[in-house]
Amino acid sequence: MALGEREELVFLGRELTTERNYSEETAQLIDREVKKLIDQGSKRAEEILNARRAKLDEIARVLIEKETIEREEFDRLVKE
């Protein structure tokens, strides 16, 4: 996703450029909001992984032993 106008210039192949038609202040606001979304998503992903750590460790142990897990076994491991 990009803010600004898109322009195609053909020179030695296809090139796309994005013209920045907004202020530095707007660019900084966009950067802060994007960083906030990424930080929130990262924090939430870490919370989910930590909450399910024991289950993930068990799945990893089985994968190290067998290298593959059939769907039925995976479902059983997840439901336990």
The residues spanned by each domain of the chain are 5-79
CA atoms within 13 A on the CB side of 42: 6
pLDDT digits (tens, 9 = 90+) for 9-65: 555 555 566 667 788 899 899 999 999 999 999 999 999 999 999 999 999 999 999
The Cβ-side half-sphere exposure at 6, using a 13 Å CA radius, reads: 6
Q: Is 67 left (phi over 0), alpha (psi -120 to 50) or beta?
A: left
Residue ranges of the alpha helices (H) in 7-70? Answer: 24-51, 53-66
Where is pLDDT greater, at 63 or 3? 63
